[in-house]
Amino acid sequence: MKLYTTKVAPNPKRVHIFLAEKGIDIECVEIDLGKSENLEADFVAKNPLGRVPVLELDDGSYIAESVAICRYFEEQQPEPPLFGADAKDKAVVEMWNRRMESEILANASMCFRHTHAYWEGRIPQVPEFGELCRTNIMERMAWLDGELADREFIAGDRFTVADITAFTGFQIGRVPKIRIGEDMTNLQRWFDGVGARPSAQG
Ligand SMILES: N[C@@H](CCC(=O)N[C@@H](CS)C(=O)NCC(=O)O)C(=O)O
């Protein structure tokens, strides 16, 4: 089994944090996005969308999409449960993970892609759209700060995949200078706590 990854990129990072929380070690193959290795024919044969991460299984098949890869490992090794424990818990974690994907990670990634020099000449950039995403995430941060007033983690009292998704969103958001507001003390406390976990190092 091999993970094709770009360790600094947010979606692969979700998988790395997830695996570290599970204590799973896996062979990694680094794909250099800066050199467009993800668009080379042998990588596109693994994932036609040319995106990382991609997991290669021992039978030679491939699984792309970071959440799909995480779910595979959750099934292989259920402890600790990062997608929830019982029916309600699983649904609540799913709800929060989807929210964190669409409201935090997507807005932060799109702000980065559409406003940052790194992407100039690589993708068509629409800076106004990037700025709209910045506005969106600032609004969502205020909402999340309120949510975190009375619980430790995004989906409840336990660390889950929703924390991983949100954390990587805020991390990539730092590149286009999206910052947690000084008054958002609950959100900052959560961010610092997740960032201090051993799984978030590296
Ligand atoms: N929905 C996919 C998104 C994967 C994705 O966008 N990966 C980025 C890195 S974070 C990528 O490969 N970007 C390369 C590019 O856009 O050329 C997932 O969850 O894995």
Domains of the chain: 2-76 (3.40.30.10), 87-200 (1.20.1050.10)
Pocket test for ligand 1, best of 32, 38, 43, 51 (most atoms within 8 A of CB): 51
Mean pLDDT of 162-179: 98
Q: With cut-offs at 50, 70 and 90, classify the pLDDT of residue 44.
A: very high
**Spacing, Cα 64 to ligand 1 middle (Å):** 10
Pocket test for ligand 1, best of 7, 8, 11 (most atoms within 8 A of CB): 11
Secondary structure (3-state) at 155 = coil
Distance in angstroms (rounded) separating the CA atoms of residues 148 and 153:
7
**Spacing, Cα 51 to ligand 1 middle (Å):** 4
Distance in angstroms (rounded) separating the CA atoms of residues 131 and 12:
25
Of 26, 51, 18, which is closest to residue 37 (Cα–Cα)? 51
pLDDT the model gives residue 202: 72
Strand order in the sheet with 2-5: 27-30, 2-5, 54-56, 62-64
pLDDT per position as a tens digit, 63-88: 999 999 999 999 999 999 999 999 99
Mean pLDDT of 148-177: 98
**Spacing, Cα 6 to ligand 1 middle (Å):** 10
DSSP 85-142: SSHHHHHHHHHHHHHIIIIIIHHHHHHHHHH-GGGTTTS---HHHHHHHHHHHHHHHH
**Spacing, Cα 68 to ligand 1 middle (Å):** 13
Pocket of ligand 1 (CB under 6 A): 9-11, 33, 38, 50-53, 65-66
**Spacing, Cα 52 to ligand 1 middle (Å):** 5
Mean pLDDT of 174-188: 97
Q: Is 135 exposed, middle or buried (0-12, 13-18, 19+ CB in 10 A)?
A: exposed
pLDDT per position as a tens digit, 126-141: 999 999 999 999 999 9
Q: With cut-offs at 50, 70 and 90, classify the pLDDT of residue 151.
A: very high
Using the atom order of ligand 1, give the atom closest to the CA of residue 36: 17
Q: With cut-offs at 50, 70 and 90, classify the pLDDT of residue 89.
A: very high
Distance in angstroms (rounded) separating the CA atoms of residues 202 and 189:
20
pLDDT per position as a tens digit, 103-127: 999 999 999 999 999 999 999 999 9
Distance in angstroms (rounded) separating the CA atoms of residues 17 and 69:
12
CB 78 within 8 A of CB 86: no
pLDDT the model gives residue 186: 98
Q: Tokens in use for 142?
A: 């205020």
Query: Which pTM was predicted?
Result: 0.97
